[in-house]
Structure 1
């Protein structure tokens, strides 16, 4: 094998190895005695891990939809289900009352939704401002690409239920309206960046606990 072929072989080998993900442990159940970081939480001592660490029943309980959006989202992420730590996935249960809404929001990662009961409209907005939305019925799934704004609305005449899966143990959750109105960002600044009037901004701040 000549020198050029050898160099090409090692470059190809390096790219292949560097693009693959290799784990040196089977799992890393989160240990909350230590702070989390960009890679998640430190691992619980495997000697103290049991099968119960890998079971989570929280998504079996209907959420409370008695709130301003008539809907709820219960998350199975690393801080509620420690066995997800480091595994790159999580789930959530979405309950919708009649007319319920999961407001427009975004995550750091991609999401797929599965409708279990009812009829909802789900959609997302591309970075070019194109809106992609569709009515989903029982058994339908839809993907929301990472970081894009998306939403779900119950348009049926009965409660709806859906489950979502996200490709991160802690995907983040930022709701646009709450992000604007639940802090001390001045009302006049919000007016300028949203074109809302002062009365509308103050109403949102009163709902979500914002000041200023």
Structure 2
């Protein structure tokens, strides 16, 4: 029986990756780091800031990584003022709430970003459980963020469906035992399936999603 839907945030609730790319590019240009689409896809998407800055600025101490991370997130929040939910998201949340299916958020983003984005998207207060990077010892791709969400929801993995857009997020969801959809805002369906996705959708209107939802609530 389906009891919860668990969502990543960036690239899943909203196609925010272009704004993140722009923020990284602005902050790191002083270090001579060129943030291209390929760099973003291979070294940034879905990873923690700790891992990102260690990879992009290996010659700098951790303290400088943390400073750049804070600056990047502040820059992102300044830029991210006109966000729109991914097509079909609001209808899916309404559908879930009407059936008493719980809704949760699991993100590697900091709490300040989560609060800013949920407010901008008109989603503040809609998630029963919100797991941000500060609340767990290890972020994705470790399964701990998802395991923590399942514990707080009071359900088993087989009673939930996860939605992810990145390799690290998908690996975390699958390692936690969740049936997971890859949201194709950054990767292809083939790439998503290679890292374990059970299905792939372009928007939350996709028939592939609704066939699974209808089957799960009928079970």
TM-score range, shorter chain: under 0.3
TM-score, scaled relative to structure 2:
0.25
- Rg (Cα) greater in structure: 1
Tell which has more relative contact order, 1 or 2 (C-alpha 8 A, sep 6+). Answer: 2
Higher helix share: 2
Higher strand share: 1
